Amino acid sequence: MSKVTLSQLAGISTTLGQTTVPAGHTLAVNGDVHHHSSTGAIKIQSGTTAQRPGSPTPGAFRFNTTEGYAEYYDGSTWQFIAETQIPLGSQSNPAPHGMALKALNYPSGLYWIQVSGQSSYRMYVDNDRNGGGWTLCATVRTSTCQDHMTTSAQRISGSTGPRWNNSSTTKMADSWIQALRNASTYSGSTAYWLEAVDFNKDMFVDTNATVHLEQSASNNNNRTRVSTSYEGGISDRNPNTGTRGFGDHHTSGGTYFAWGRHPESGNNCGFREDSLGASDGFLWVK
């Protein structure tokens, strides 16, 4: 049996150790193709869904890094290879909520989520903190002031959900957030987590609260039942009508805070508390 070993080839430094077959030519291998190590593996081409070749040849195959599975081109569309399990949280197999991903011990990261009656979105899920299973439903920025005090979606482009690094407020619609909460298997006491980064404070809200992030929190008392720790002791703040969404903006002396405060004033930006002022933050739901 003949053997060709390529180790040191002359040429420019960026192509040392490489063999190039010019376009229009074919490298034919009649024998087996082996990795240099008997215990190794051959690497196939890989890339995101968006990086798929524009005019692939039928039979072409690759590893899709967006979906996490191998796929081949059948002449008209890309198909996943049947022996490859489609992971939960992929676009082809979206998760119903973050808790389903936590149950499988998936790491924190971006996953496709679709809840009943709602469109699917690629969302960030935190599976490391406070029991895991948290879906990021809003990124609140004081730079875009009161944009989070609305029932509608804010700056949701296509199927991309809120991200940690959004420079402007980005929020899912209340209807989507409520559907996520309704679908979740979480049965603990604090299903909502407001993380105020400038206050360096966390506030957890009663699981029984309904989502209406524009309305006065006093319209649903559970929205004002809050805790400083995950599944910790709950304090019923019962604040006045000025607190919007969740929490309490003025009766705790800085222990708690509000999703929003007196939007009619026009200048109460971000998460608010009378003595603390304003803060950027995140709304997590599970």
Q: Is residue 174 part of a domain?
A: yes
d(C-alpha 154, C-alpha 60), whole Å: 40
pTM: 0.75
d(C-alpha 272, C-alpha 246), whole Å: 11
- What are the DSSP E strand ranges found in the chain? 46-47, 61-64, 69-73, 78-80, 109-113, 121-126, 134-140, 170-171, 190-196, 201-206, 225-227, 235-236, 243-247, 258-261, 271-273, 277-279, 281-285
Q: Is residue 115 part of a domain?
A: yes
Residue 71 has a pLDDT of 78
Decide: helix, strand or coil at residue 143: helix
Walk along the chain (286 residues) and give the pLDDT tens digit of each residue.
455 555 555 555 555 566 676 777 766 666 666 666 666 777 778 888 888 888 888 878 888 887 777 777 878 777 766 555 689 999 999 999 999 999 999 999 999 999 999 999 999 999 999 999 999 999 999 999 999 999 999 999 999 999 999 999 999 999 999 999 999 999 999 999 999 999 999 999 999 999 999 999 999 999 999 999 999 999 999 988 999 999 999 988 999 999 999 999 999 999 999 999 999 999 999 9
Q: Domain range holding 271? A: 98-285
- What are the DSSP E strand ranges found in 207-265? 225-227, 235-236, 243-247, 258-261
Residue 12, amino acid: I
d(C-alpha 273, C-alpha 152), whole Å: 24
Q: Is residue 22 part of a domain?
A: no
Q: Is residue 75 part of a domain?
A: no
d(C-alpha 54, C-alpha 261), whole Å: 51
Residue 1 has a pLDDT of 47
The tally of domains found in the chain comes to 1
Q: Is residue 15 part of a domain?
A: no
d(C-alpha 205, C-alpha 286), whole Å: 11
Could you tell me the sign of the dihedral formed by the alpha carbons of 204, 208, 211, 217, in that order? negative
Q: Is residue 274 part of a domain?
A: yes
Backbone φ and ψ for 158, nearest 5 degrees, come out as 60, -125
d(C-alpha 199, C-alpha 220), whole Å: 25
Q: Is residue 216 part of a domain?
A: yes
DSSP-derived letter for residue 80 is E
Distance of CA 144 to the CA centre of its chain: 21
Q: Is residue 167 part of a domain?
A: yes
Residue 60 has a pLDDT of 85
